[in-house]
Amino acid sequence: MATTDDSFNGLTEHCEDCDLDTPHEVSVQLRTESRKEENAQFSREPYRVAECKRCGTRTSQRMNNA
């Protein structure tokens, strides 16, 4: 675990675009993966979204590995 001195609400992660470790704002989004509306409520997957505060690039990862 990285520790930071500031109180920034986020994490420092490596950004591919910046090629640096930069502050990221991290949030979780639910995304619907199914095209069928009737199944939508069963197919929402939580994604962890990290946005680079330096260049604005967003990266997302599915949190479930099921």
CB of residue 30 to Zn ion, shortest distance in Å: 25
- Give the nearest distance from C-beta 12 to Zn ion in angstroms: 11
User: Which one, 20 or 40, has the nearer CB to Zn ion?
Assistant: 20
Confirm if 46 and 29 have CB atoms less than 8 A apart: yes
6 DSSP assignment: S
First to last CA, the chain: 25
Q: How far is the CB of 29 from Zn ion (least distance, A)?
A: 19
| 12 or 32: CB nearest Zn ion | 12
